[in-house]
Amino acid sequence: MGKPQAKQPPAVLFVCTANICRSPMAEALFRLILREKGIDAQGWRIESAGTWAPQDRPADPVVVAQFAYRGVDLSAHRSRIVDAALLGGFPVIVTMEPGHKEALQVEFRPLRGRVFTLAELAGENGSVADPTGGPPEAYARTADEIERLLRLAFDRIIGMQA
């Protein structure tokens, strides 16, 4: 008999394009929602990555500033690109746009059933708008939209854990 496999912690990976704006927002907001619901985020693996991410860039300064107001320090965030090794560790992969979902499903075919858009998990259609380069209000609207969708998708994400 082989060794029993250690149970993996619950895990979710958030994916956008450059991993400097939307996916770090989603990662931070999901942690906040877990805490609000009395769930210890330390018991979770919550990360983010990008489909076309430059390696090791900090989060967008507007995102860092806006999340500081929410009591979240994103100054240590560094971007990274998705790869098979990273994706394989997550039972749930949440993208910000249908194009991200499609790209991941094409490039990483065995993971097709684990990749969803945030809107889809929330029972809606569409994309989370990318505010990059826009005014601070656009970033705030995007953060609010991600939070709204995460709240709608929360029970589904919890229920999809292995």
Q: Rounded distance, CA 51 to CA 19, Å?
A: 8
Catalytic residue among 31, 70, 130, 141: 130
- Provide the greatest CA pair distance for the chain: 60
Residue 71, helix vs strand vs coil: coil
* Nearest Cα to Cα of residue 25 among 131, 116, 102: 131
Secondary structure (3-state) at 78: strand
Given a contact cutoff of 8 angstroms between Cβ atoms, the answer to whether 64 and 75 are in contact is yes
16 labelled catalytic = yes
75 beta partners:
none
Cα gap 9→162, rounded to integer Å: 9
- Among 21, 22, 60, 114, the one annotated catalytic: 22
> What Cα–Cα distance (Å) separates residue 49 from each residue in 5, 40, 77, 96, 128?
27, 22, 11, 11, 16
Instruction: Give catalytic residues, as residue numbers.
Output: 16, 22, 130
